[in-house]
Amino acid sequence: MKIQNQHYCSIWLNPHNRQQIQVIDQRFLPHQLEIKTLTRWQDCATAIQDMWIRGAPLIGATAAFGMYLAALQLPAQQPEAYLQQVAQNLLATRPTAVNLRWAVERQLNTLTGLAYNNPLIADTLLNSALEIANEDVETCRLIGVHGLQLLQAIYARKATTGPLNILTHCNAGWLACVDWGTATSPIYHAARAGIPVHVWVSETRPRNQGANLTAWELAQNGIAHTVVVDNCCGHLLQHGMVDICIVGTDRTTRTGDVANKTGTYLKALAAHDNNTPFYVALPSSTIDWQISDGLKEIIIEQRHSDEVKYVGGISNSGQYHRVLITPPNSPAANYGFDVTPARLITGLITERGVCPASQEGLLQLFPEMNRIQ
Ligand code: MRU
């Protein structure tokens, strides 16, 4: 998608130096566009852990490139043990997004049959990381194609005049993926198809990915939007101001339970209470086929309490400030994600089509996963 009319992806191989990976450092958006260069696998781990980059698909792609960078420093002694340890360290960076495990395992699997002292190891991991990134672009594009049909149908049925109002939470946009986004891809496709769209952007405390990132990427791509505080969304839904909710996910169970940024569950409850369709957009790399009970089996990341206690932004003088908003000694809890049970979800928008949030629905689209119990 575009930044100041120029096409960007969120991660890329430096065209002038194949030993460098470059990413947009999302911590400074929307105020500053900073590009960071990652040259060691440890840089990738830090970028994921400290959220220079974030969003489930981008976390996966960054970890895949991390495995490649590790292969560039492969020791002569015990190279396999070294790469396995790097994989473990990357896996420990963030616990909830399953794309991380998916990408790291895929990288290890590409090495099957290759001797670890083979000089082709790094090239193999680079090609596979590029494949993961390119596949994500195509997957998100397809999510947009399928989601567009849904938005066209809802717009055709809309009783009132005015734009199609879509509510989203956090950032499941192109910044969270490699391009297009998951929840935003149907929106970008709808706008291109001539549907007047308007997006309610929920700010997403504590880190404000909605206010900082989604609002910015929509603005850069010419999509009408309005930022609201998280707690306002129930009011919007009660007053018929939302035609459809679309959010992303970090891990979806084989039965259709969805872990996503904290606050998603409350939106789903309010959407259910007001008969408003609630969809989750996801690449199949976000489905954890090994688990079926989201509440019991998904590990919810707990981050530092300072993210709750402080907010950052620029003052009128253009200076960035971080300010404390609680009594200094009040404890704060920071649960990063919550789980929305499948019963509250109208459907899942995937690269293979739209299905009910259920095991039957998912297996209809992904029959090859039937063998995994
Ligand atoms: O903590 P974050 O910013 O990584 O959380 C991101 C989300 O919750 C997104 O909705 C999710 O990763 C889907 S991204 C397509």
Could you tell me if residue 144 is inside a domain? no
Sign of CA dihedral 282, 286, 292, 293: negative
| 252 Cβ closer than 6 Å to some ligand 1 atom | no
Could you tell me if residue 151 is inside a domain? no
Could you tell me if residue 150 is inside a domain? no
| 209 Cβ closer than 6 Å to some ligand 1 atom | yes
**What's the domain range around 236?**
160-372
Could you tell me if residue 202 is inside a domain? yes
Could you tell me if 298 and 216 lie in one domain? yes
Which atom number of ligand 1 is nearest to the Cα of residue 209? 3
- pLDDT number for residue 361: 98
Q: 196 alpha carbon to ligand 1 midpoint, in Å?
A: 26
Could you tell me if residue 147 is inside a domain? no
Could you tell me if 45 and 174 lie in one domain? no
- 260-318 pLDDT, tens digit per residue, is 999 999 999 999 999 999 999 999 999 999 999 999 999 999 999 999 999 999 999 99
36: its two tokens: 């960071």
**Residue tagged 């409850």 (tokens):** 269
Q: 40 alpha carbon to ligand 1 midpoint, in Å?
A: 24
- pLDDT number for residue 23: 98
Domain boundary, last residue among 91, 118, 134 = 134
Could you tell me if 279 and 235 lie in one domain? yes
Domain boundary, last residue among 84, 118, 134 = 134
Domain boundary, last residue among 100, 134, 168 = 134
Could you tell me if 127 and 168 lie in one domain? no
| 61 Cβ closer than 6 Å to some ligand 1 atom | no
Which atom number of ligand 1 is nearest to the Cα of residue 282? 15
Could you tell me if 260 and 340 lie in one domain? yes
- pLDDT number for residue 160: 86
Q: For the residues 336-354, what does the mean pLDDT come to?
A: 98
Confidence of residue 371 (pLDDT cuts 50, 70, 90): confident
Q: How far is CA 229 from the centre of its chain?
A: 20
The CATH number given to whatever domain includes residue 294 is: 3.40.50.10470
Instruction: Decide if pLDDT at 235 tops 90.
Output: yes
Backbone phi and psi for residue 136, each to the nearest 5 degrees, phi listed first: -65, -40
The CATH number given to whatever domain includes residue 60 is: 1.20.120.420
Q: Which of 89, 4, 46, 154 is CA-nearest to residue 23?
A: 46
Total domain count for the chain? Answer: 2
User: Strands 337-340 and 258-261, how do they pair?
Assistant: antiparallel
Sign of CA dihedral 200, 276, 348, 104: positive
Could you tell me if 105 and 195 lie in one domain? no
21, β-bridge pairs: 13, 38
Could you tell me if 260 and 310 lie in one domain? yes
Could you tell me if 42 and 88 lie in one domain? yes
Which atom number of ligand 1 is nearest to the Cα of residue 59? 4
Could you tell me if 181 and 100 lie in one domain? no
- pLDDT number for residue 274: 98
| 170 Cβ closer than 6 Å to some ligand 1 atom | yes
Q: For the residues 39-47, what does the mean pLDDT come to?
A: 98
Could you tell me if 76 and 211 lie in one domain? no
- 171-194 pLDDT, tens digit per residue, is 999 999 999 999 999 999 999 999
Could you tell me if residue 140 is inside a domain? no
- pLDDT number for residue 372: 64
- pLDDT number for residue 159: 85
Could you tell me if 195 and 249 lie in one domain? yes
Residue whose CA is at the smallest distance from ligand 1 atom 8: 261
- pLDDT number for residue 273: 98
User: Strands 164-169 and 244-247, how do they pair?
Assistant: parallel
| 10 Cβ closer than 6 Å to some ligand 1 atom | no
| 110 Cβ closer than 6 Å to some ligand 1 atom | no
With vertex at residue 160, the alpha carbon angle to CA 157 and CA 164, rounded to the nearest 5 degrees, is: 70
- pLDDT number for residue 373: 60
- 4-20 pLDDT, tens digit per residue, is 999 999 999 999 999 99
Could you tell me if 243 and 360 lie in one domain? yes
- 357-367 pLDDT, tens digit per residue, is 999 999 999 99
Tell which one of 249, 264, 280, 301 to mutate to probe ligand 1, the residue whose CB is within 8 A of the most ligand atoms.
Answer: 249
Which atom number of ligand 1 is nearest to the Cα of residue 56? 12
Could you tell me if residue 155 is inside a domain? no
Q: Which amino acid is at 205?
A: R
What mean pLDDT value characterizes the chain?
A: 97
33: its two tokens: 């566009």
| 250 Cβ closer than 6 Å to some ligand 1 atom | yes
- 62-76 pLDDT, tens digit per residue, is 999 999 999 999 999
Reduced 3-state DSSP string for the chain: CEECCEECCCEEECCCCCCCEEEEEHHHCCCCCEEEEECCHHHHHHHHHCCCCCCHHHHHHHHHHHHHHHHHCCCCCCHHHHHHHHHHHHHCCCCCCCHHHHHHHHHHHHCCCCCCCCCCHHHHHHHHHHHHHHHHHHHHHHHHHHHHHHHHHHHHHCCCCCCEEEEEECCCCHHHCCCCCCCCHHHHHHHHCCCCEEEEEECCCCCCHHHHHHHHHHHHCCCEEEEECHHHHHHHHHCCCCCEEEECCCEEECCCCEEEECCHHHHHHHHHHCCCCEEEECCHHHEECCCCCHHHHCCCCECCCHHHHEEEEECCCCCEEEEECCCCCCCCCCECEEEECHHHCCEEEECCEEECCCHHHHHHHCHHHHHCC
User: Known catalytic residues?
Assistant: 250
Q: 270 alpha carbon to ligand 1 midpoint, in Å?
A: 21
Please give the Cα distance from 280 to 347 (Å, whole number): 7
185-210: buried (b, 16+ CB within 10 Å) or exposed (e) per residue? bbbbbbbeeebebbbbbbbbbbbbbb
Could you tell me if residue 152 is inside a domain? no
Backbone phi and psi for residue 245, each to the nearest 5 degrees, phi listed first: -105, 135
